[in-house]
Chain A
């Protein structure tokens, strides 16, 4: 049931907001595509909330297993500890004094970067959402679910913490705008990192990024958002390809003839990325925009859960 509705919802919302020109205050620094994305943010949030509803249902079930939300463990009172820390009820059952230890106070940290640069703002067919849209839906769904779990969510770049959903969404879009190199970001010591991108830049760049990001304890997840056309290369005839409208196009006389070569090249690229991520001790996922968002969100959630947020 969840398979199609986010896609269609976001498409609808986009077309609804297309005509309006009311931009938000900080939008002047954004590119055109980002502004369009921001206009579609409410729809993205709605989709994300829907996706988040089904997230962490099982993995966070331990809270209801009976151990208690605030309670972590009992331990014996160490010397010099304040008496008021003693859990008298527990201590009364035996001769020893027990201290009731609470759950760790600093919540786990998830840092998200969702790519919204022009290469993400593309789709091969009107029926599919743009890659950036799908990336945002995914990012917000994870963010909502994680926050609902009581953890902290931050933008990887800029460090904006998630308090209000729409402000965070806008911050995500904005932070996804600029290219970043490793020294721009400060990965938290115990945080998890979620990177969402199409991963089309060269391997060296990614290698440099990932090296720096490789976290000490947390998890690193790279989700590659793919358009079906990028995977299959369905073009025929004489086509001039260009990454962006301004760029010098690459003219291919018979697009069909390079289809196999392209697919090879693309698979190789993804394999290299996978290798790089593995080196950085991270997890590598792919998601095509013509597929439903829930499976990949569950996958991410499972990975994060294993990391015991």
Chain B
């Protein structure tokens, strides 16, 4: 390797050929072009003329220069020039440490691209170490080939979790020293960063690449009267203007404010009207999981109406005053009379001690509750005096129980500790609060209910949310329709109790109103036993994703100090009536810049990677050679060339001039040579026969029972293909990808065995190459009959070493759903089988013309195909096809998809084309239009 400045030459000896250029110059100049032949009647006159100039015609000078340039291109190309050559061949294995926590999300694309280029340029094996990885530490380090590492990196996504450098530092203990280490850091300090730096330093030379990170995290969002009081954690490079958005459950922005970046946070004010749909607050410009703060329904502002009495004589003693003061900071409170409020579309209505209601108002209230509203009532003398009707949880006794006075016991009037299932669970009860009078549930009402009195609609049972120490219900509730009716058995004001003076009443009211927004109670108050399942989780970029099966439910016992992990990403979890919100950013989060560590070089910019230029030079040289061929032909037929040019000027074909034919011939020959396949080897006698037929091939698993099942399945499928389609498959063939040439098969079936088994590297390479060269690999995990975890493990193991493209379940309208039969589902042996194909974006980008090179399914189709039924006759068309008929249809679609590729995708324009033909036909009666309408 020679290098001058930033250009190196791999094989300098090849440049010696440049010395031969002067000689080539002479030869080119001396070499006469082909004589053109000319018919000329007076030729006999010429025979008498002695040629006056004997020296041969020289090639034109520009042609000689052109040819020299072409040759130089080729020579330089063969010498293997490299830009930015590696000065010293570094044979140490490359270790890439990548921070893939959510803090890397704003930098992710650039960071991963840089890492992938670095990995691809490596000459040795590449170890990848992600600082966030699965639950087990075993997969912390992956050893891959350079190209595999590059594609693995490009497929990687940031995790919605903070990097755990402590754990990774421990994982490095298994590595030997003598590594070349690149650490793609998010530029922030995390737990154990210093440890990681130390342990990396022990392993070899470390270079840290940390771009300025603008990440922002919302750590707190406290509801305030205007909206929310926010707290931020910002990285040093964060923008000074923070755009904060309120988003709904699908990530749409409902409102946005721009705040200055400040240590004390900021205030986000939100109009009450849109507040209802807000699920989270999000940093709008710099996206990451930490920039999303999920709001509990408890944090949400409930729109509450408080029914005011018509005349108030003593404001400070009135019940409504207490309620109003208690709720004003936490909910948007509307005041008014019942008539106004019941039609205002509120979440909750509060009635303090209100007696008899007019009929129409009672009806309106009833409707309000049945439609999902929450009606909160307080007892009092007026309520007891009235005919209570249906708008209380249970009929009340006419007289309240008086708990104060000289006869009362010490503990009378004290509130008992809340039960865990109560909405008030977890609230602390002040010692000095006493209830003086309480309304009692009429005993006969309870007995009547238990008798099962014939009612038009059986009412749901009364729930008691709070009791006094002696068991007297203090708060009772009942569900009506979709709504809830809640009754506090005392007054809202100080008349019957002194709860109104304590903070307890405020808390209790808030809890009750939270029920208006969500049936789930924050899990911190409910010590449930049921695991909480994910409802909505965040990915690393802070987008909402639907939880999949890999996410573990939260155990309710350990919620308190739970940190998000890969298995339990930040999100909303619900279960057993409780809800827990796992925020990505903890309230005490701080994003500090990465401290410089001695002995570790910090790179300011991406390291220049060597880039080979040989192919560019060779391609240019080859193209110039082709151009030279054309020039040679043109020079030989100057007159015809002239004609060709004039013809080209006129843009019309009048006559197929010979020069045109020559040029086309040369191009044709050239492209033929280029595309000619390598000569077939003589060792495979049946190759020709194989290439004539479509052969269904399957990968031998080594398990005789499985292999024979697959063979029978494919034979059944081949039979069905022969009967129903124009595909005439040859005999089914078992192949060993290591030994057999896969290029002969359009599609290879691979049924996975019972045990997870990694393929041999050669096999993985062969299958990988097969897929890259346009083959379709159909992998059947037979997973529908297994546990999901088992199936996933099987597939993961089988595809290890194969560059599998990103997969998705077959989307609507995919070619696979219409390549022969129109299919909506893909039933196999198991009716709920699924098929995954390469994502549309990935398939478009691949060289395979939009055809998925990998089809992954779990339906155990081979088993179902073995009993391929006959094609249904016309009479059977009404009959619902049998499961095996369905599965054979799936098989036929898969094979035809492999054979015809995206052909059917083009048919999507067919209706439009037909319509256009039809329109032309109607206006001008052209015969060809008639014909084309026939199909």
Tell whether, in the assembled complex, residue A239 and residue B36 are in contact, meaning their CB atoms are under 8 Å apart.
Answer: yes
Q: How many angstroms between the C-alpha atoms of A266 and B44 in the bound complex?
A: 11
Chain A nearest CB, measured from B304 CB (Å): 96
Residues from chain B with a CB closer than 8 A to the CB of A251 are 35
Query: Which A260-303 residues sit within 8 Å CB-CB of chain B?
Result: 261-262, 265-266, 269
Would B51 and A258 count as touching, CB distance under 8 A?
yes
Assess whether A122 is interfacial by the CB under 8 Å rule: yes
Task: Compute the total of residue contacts between A and B using a CB distance below 8 Å.
Answer: 95
Residue A238 at the B interface, CB < 8 A? yes
Contact A253 B51 (CB under 8 A): yes
Return the contact of B46 from the options A229, A245, A257, A262 (Cβ within 8 A). A262
Q: Is the CB of A240 within 8 A of B49?
A: no
User: A198: CB under 8 A from chain B?
Assistant: yes
Report if B875 contacts A (CB, 8 A): no
**A228 to B: closest C-beta gap in Å:** 12
A243 interface residue per 8 A CB criterion: yes
**Which stretch of B52-60, B147-155, B167-175, B197-205 is in the interface?**
B52-60
B43 contacts A265, CB within 8 Å?
no
Given the complex of chains A and B, what is the CA–CA distance between A23 and B697 in angstroms?
63
A250 interface residue (CB < 8 Å to B): yes
Q: Is B40 at the interface (CB under 8 A from chain A)?
A: yes
Alpha-carbon separation in the docked complex, A257 to B45 (Å)? 15
A252 is contacted by which of B34, B42, B46, B55 (Cβ under 8 Å)? B46
Closest to A257 in B: B53
Contact in complex: B36, A240 (CB < 8 Å): yes
B42–A253 contact, CB under 8 A? no
Q: Chain A residues near B36 (CB, 8 Å)?
A: 237-240
Q: Is B638 an interface residue (CB 8 A)?
A: yes
- Does the CB pair A242–B53 fall under 8 Å? no
Say whether A184 faces chain B, with CB atoms less than 8 Å apart. no
Measured CB to CB, the nearest residue on chain A to B45 is A265
Q: Which of B36, B42, B44, B52 has its CB near the most chain A CB atoms (within 10 A)? A: B42
Contact A238 B33 (CB under 8 A): yes
Across-interface contacts of A229 in B (CB, < 8 A):
40
Number of interface residues of A (CB under 8 A): 34
**Contact between B46 and A250 (Cβ–Cβ < 8 Å)?**
yes
The answer to whether B38 has its CB under 8 Å from any CB of chain A is yes
Docked complex: A182-231 residues within 8 A CB-CB of B: 198, 200, 202, 227, 229-230
Q: Are A200 and B42 in contact (CB under 8 A)?
A: yes
Chain B interface residue count, CB cutoff 8 Å, equals 26
Q: Do B48 and A243 touch across chains, with their CB atoms under 8 A apart?
A: no
CB-based contact A252/B41 at 8 Å:
no
Chain B residue nearest in CB terms to A261: B49
B638's closest neighbor in chain A, by CB?
A237
Q: Is B882 interfacial (CB 8 A cutoff)?
A: no
Identify which of A227, A238, A245 contacts B35 (C-beta below 8 A): A238
| B37 at the binding interface (Cβ < 8 Å) | yes
Task: List B1-54 residues whose CB lies under 8 Å from chain A.
Answer: 32-49, 51-54
Instruction: Point out the residue from B39, B52, B638 that lies within 8 Å of A243, measured CB to CB.
Output: B39
Q: List, in ascending order, chain B residues with CB within 8 A of A245's CB.
A: 39
Q: Is the CB of B53 within 8 A of A241?
A: no
Question: A247 in the interface, Cβ–Cβ < 8 Å?
Answer: yes
* Beta-carbon contact of A238 and B32 below 8 Å: yes
**CA separation between A230 and B32, bound complex, in Å?**
26
CA distance A301 to B47 in the complex (A): 37
**Among the listed B40, B45, B49, B57, which residue makes an inter-chain contact with A238, where contact means beta carbons less than 8 Å apart?**
B57
Q: Which of B34, B43, B54, B55 contacts A250 (CB 8 A)?
A: B43
Distance between Cα atoms of A261 and B45 in the complex (Å): 10
CA distance A103 to B57 in the complex (A): 69
- Would B56 and A262 count as touching, CB distance under 8 A? no
Q: Are B54 and A253 closer than 8 Å at their CB atoms?
A: yes
- A244 touching B39 in the complex, CB below 8 Å, given contacts A250-B47, A258-B51: yes
B45, A242: Cβ atoms closer than 8 Å: no
Please tell me if A235 contacts chain B, counting CB pairs below 8 Å: yes
Interface presence of A31 (CB below 8 A): no
Once the chains bind, are A240 and B41 in contact (CB under 8 Å)?
no
A128 to chain B, nearest CB (A): 14
A265 touches B49 (CB 8 A): yes
Chain B residue nearest to A264 (CB atoms) is B49
Residue on A nearest B49 in the bound complex, by CB: A261
Q: Specify which of B37, B52, B56 is in contact with A242 (CB 8 Å cutoff).
A: B37
What 0/1 pattern do residues 85 to 107 of B give for CB contact below 8 A with A? Answer: 00000000000000000000000
Of B32, B35, B52, B56, which contacts A258 at CB under 8 A?
B52
Contact call A249/B37, Cβ cutoff below 8 A: yes
A152–chain B nearest beta-carbon distance, Å: 33
Nearest Cβ distance between residue A28 and chain B, in whole angstroms?
25
Q: Return chain A residues, CB-CB under 8 Å to B32.
A: 238, 253
Q: How far is the CB of B234 from chain A (nearest CB, A)?
A: 78
Min CB–CB distance A54 → chain B (angstroms): 30
Please tell me if A17 contacts chain B, counting CB pairs below 8 Å.
Answer: no
- Which chain A residues lie closer than 8 Å to B57 at the CB level? 237-238, 253-254
A91: interface (CB < 8 Å): no
Using a CB-CB cutoff of 8 Å, which residues 426-465 of chain B contact chain A? none
CA distance A241 to B45 in the complex (A): 11
Collect the chain A residues with CB atoms within 8 Å of residue B40's CB: 229-230, 235, 241-243
Residues of B within 8 A of A244 (CB): 39
> For B46, what are the chain A residues with a Cβ–Cβ distance below 8 Å?
241, 250, 252, 258, 262, 265
Since A253-B32, A253-B54, A257-B51 are in contact, a sample of 13 more A-B pairs with Cβ atoms closer than 8 Å, ordered by chain A residue number, is A237-B35, A237-B57, A238-B56, A242-B40, A243-B39, A251-B35, A252-B46, A253-B55, A254-B53, A257-B52, A257-B53, A258-B46, A262-B46
Q: What are 5 contact pairs spanning A and B, CB under 8 A?
A: A237-B36, A243-B44, A245-B39, A250-B43, A262-B45
Top 6 A-B pairs ranked by shortest CB distance? A119-B41, A238-B35, A243-B43, A257-B53, A241-B40, A261-B49
Question: What is B's interface to A at a CB cutoff of 8 Å?
Answer: 32-49, 51-57, 638
